[in-house]
Amino acid sequence: MQIKATEQALLDWTGDLLAVGITEGETKLTGDLATLDEKLAGTIADLIAEDEFEGKSGTTVVGRVGGKNTVRKIALIGLGKAEDLTINSWRNAAAEIARLAKKEKTLGISLPLGSASAPDVAQAMTEAIILALHEDNRFKSEPESKKPKLETVELIGLAGQDEAISRGSTIADGVILARELVNAPANEVTPVTMAQTAQQLATDYGLEIKILEAADCAQFEQGMGAYLGVGQASEIPPKFIHLIYKPQGTAKRKVAIVGKSLTFDSGGLNLKPSGSGIETMKMDMGGGAATLGAAKAIAQLKPDTEVHFICAATENMISGKAMHPGDILKAANGKTIEVNNTDAEGRLTLADALIYAETLEVDAIVDLATLTGACIVALGNDIAGLWSTDDALTAEMKAAAESAGEKFWQLPMEEKYFEGLKSQIADMKNTGPRAGGSITAALFLKQFIKDTPWMHLDVAGPVWAESSGGINNKGATGFPVRTLVNWVSN
């Protein structure tokens, strides 16, 4: 499929489906739209009247065009009130239009820009079209059966925005990598194959790469006992992945992105019971998948920031070698952890990964993890939790998320709650009371950061969609690749 900006005017466009955006309350046809309606023998006015179309956000009407017109179908897309438009309005409208056009060969889209930036709109629409049409059929016997027919999409009124379209396509490519990593079952994506994916990214895009084996991790600082403790029951060896992007010139900034990378989480000896979602625990590497997806996009976009992508990949399994509830593990900084729940394993792997990241002397560290069910209880499936020790970093990430159309909500770093993590026999426990579980998880991670500005993103809800909507289909969403790319780029 080719997406391109066209110089062709709305009135001159020819093809299978022409989609036109209309803001709420602006259904009285004027200007080019009135002329187009006259050219199409009143089809647009008829659609508005028959379907009582008002231009409300998310509403669509589609009709066939009669006679010998050069357009076969016309679609009207509601954008909502003009004063409420955000960049996500164009993104969601483009996604809906793409789904309407799956069975067509050519699609023209004309959405009013208003005061919006043309490059921002072109990029957002490109991302949306590609992601809305993405279907992961790799594991079906007839993978081509649902392939969209759409060959060409022309963005009318956005001539000259080829660079923005290219950027949107590159970012969408990174999102799709993250989606496909999360969607793949745990017998396909393992610590070993995840490391192979990182190695392929390094080869394809000129990244530096280090893969630390278990023996290397044991020798790092005081030993990555927390990370290695989680993976010790698995037959598959852990792989500590460190990808590095460096700009051609002098880097203006140096940051680290650390993604939780549990390729499967059984819960360990605190086994997840049937009905707890254990069958979906292939998605517990959603943070690592987004980290690699962001690496793929960033390596192609070439910002002037040096980025270190870290994935402490392993499985949390059961065997005679499994860590026990009550075991004490020692992280690489010497701090000791009483494991009172083997199913709170992600924070153990992140502890050593954060210590490693800080030794790189970066300007900021961001970790992202499918860490707690408590965060889903608090914020639902569409919003990720955000905690940070640095106000400037928080402001940067919120701005990046807003332009990406991905939702975060900042929660408090309530230091008093760390009392619930104190252990009588170790420096801390790995879980605290049920109340405030996502906050205590963030406080646990904070113990493994010294001075570097740091942010924790709990993405447990948004990395997976149970139903189609917006740019997502059911399954992995690729959240929050777009936010991470925006943050690094800006």
Question: Tokens for 362?
Answer: 């970066």
Q: Which residues neighbour 240 within 8 Å (Cβ) at sequence distance 6 or greater?
A: 211, 212, 213, 216, 217, 224, 227, 310, 311, 312, 313, 353, 356
Neighbouring CB atoms inside 10 A of 377's CB total 12
**Rounded alpha-carbon distances, angstroms, from residue 336 to 119, 417, 426:** 50, 19, 5
Cα–Cα distance for residue pair 473/447, rounded to 1 Å: 37
Condensed to tens digits (0 to 9), the pLDDT of residues 163-195 reads 999 999 999 999 999 999 999 999 999 999 999
Condensed to tens digits (0 to 9), the pLDDT of residues 416-440 reads 999 999 999 999 999 999 999 999 9
- pLDDT confidence bin for 468, thresholds 50/70/90: confident
Do 394 and 457 touch, CB atoms closer than 8 A?
A: no
Beta strands in 389-427 (DSSP E): 407-410
Active-site option among 239, 335, 347, 407: 347
Is the model's pLDDT at 204 over the cut of 60?
A: yes
Condensed to tens digits (0 to 9), the pLDDT of residues 383-411 reads 999 999 999 999 999 999 999 999 999 99
Element (H, E) at 365: strand 364-369
Cα–Cα distance for residue pair 428/426, rounded to 1 Å: 5
Measured over all CA atoms, what is the biggest interatomic distance in the chain, rounded to whole angstroms?
83
Condensed to tens digits (0 to 9), the pLDDT of residues 479-490 reads 999 999 999 999
The answer to whether 179 is a known catalytic residue is no
Give SS3 for 368: strand
Q: What's the pLDDT at 148?
A: 72
- pLDDT confidence bin for 67, thresholds 50/70/90: confident
Helices (H) and strands (E) in the chain, counts: 14, 19
Q: What's the pLDDT at 144?
A: 60
Beta strands in 213-321 (DSSP E): 239-245, 253-265, 305-316
Cα–Cα distance for residue pair 442/434, rounded to 1 Å: 14
The answer to whether 138 is a known catalytic residue is no
Question: Tokens for 298?
Answer: 């960033």
Condensed to tens digits (0 to 9), the pLDDT of residues 345-363 reads 999 999 999 999 999 999 9
- pLDDT confidence bin for 469, thresholds 50/70/90: confident
Percent above pLDDT 90 for the chain: 92
Do 460 and 372 touch, CB atoms closer than 8 A?
A: yes
Do 459 and 286 touch, CB atoms closer than 8 A?
A: yes
Q: What's the pLDDT at 414?
A: 97
Cα–Cα distance for residue pair 135/472, rounded to 1 Å: 10
Cis (ω within 30 of 0) for the bond into 143? no
- pLDDT confidence bin for 381, thresholds 50/70/90: very high
Do 475 and 465 touch, CB atoms closer than 8 A?
A: yes
* Residues forming a β-bridge with 75: 19, 62
| Region label for 234, one of left (φ > 0), alpha (ψ between -120 and 50) or beta (otherwise) | beta
Is the model's pLDDT at 212 over the cut of 90?
A: yes
Active-site option among 102, 210, 272, 446: 272
Phi and psi at 18, nearest 5°, equal: -110, 120
Domains and CATH numbers, the chain: 2-138+149-157 (3.40.220.10), 172-489 (3.40.630.10)
Cα–Cα distance for residue pair 358/490, rounded to 1 Å: 22
Condensed to tens digits (0 to 9), the pLDDT of residues 213-261 reads 999 999 999 999 999 999 999 999 999 999 999 999 999 999 999 999 9
C-alpha torsion 180→185→191→195, nearest 10: -30
- pLDDT confidence bin for 143, thresholds 50/70/90: low
Element (H, E) at 347: helix 346-359
Q: Which residues neighbour 342 within 8 Å (Cβ) at sequence distance 6 or greater?
A: 267, 268, 269, 270, 316, 322, 323, 324, 325
Condensed to tens digits (0 to 9), the pLDDT of residues 287-314 reads 999 999 999 999 999 999 999 999 999 9
Average pLDDT over residues 133-141: 91
Q: What share of the chain is helix, strand, coil (3-state, %, to 5)?
A: 40, 20, 40
3-state secondary structure 5-54: EECCCHHHCCEEEEEEEECCCCCCCCHHHHHHHHHCCCHHHHHHHHCCCC
Average pLDDT over residues 436-452: 98
Give SS3 for 122: helix
- pLDDT confidence bin for 68, thresholds 50/70/90: confident
pTM greater than 0.95 (yes/no): yes
Condensed to tens digits (0 to 9), the pLDDT of residues 89-113 reads 999 999 999 999 999 999 999 999 8
Q: What's the pLDDT at 274?
A: 83
Do 282 and 164 touch, CB atoms closer than 8 A?
A: no
Do 480 and 386 touch, CB atoms closer than 8 A?
A: no
What are the b/e assignments for 39-72, b being 16+ CB within 10 Å? ebeebbbebbeeeebebebebbbbbebeeeeebe
Cα–Cα distance for residue pair 442/445, rounded to 1 Å: 5
Q: What's the pLDDT at 25?
A: 87
Q: If we measure between CA atoms, which residue out of 331, 341, 290 comes closest to residue 484?
A: 290
Is the model's pLDDT at 48 over the cut of 90?
A: yes
Kindly give the pairing relationship between strand 15-22 and strand 106-110. parallel
Question: Tokens for 271?
Answer: 């086994």
Burial class (CB in 10 A: 0-12, 13-18, 19+), 152: middle
Question: Tokens for 230?
Answer: 């989680």
* Residues forming a β-bridge with 256: 308, 365
* CA-based torsion, 134, 116, 120, 409: positive or negative: negative
Is the model's pLDDT at 145 over the cut of 60?
A: no
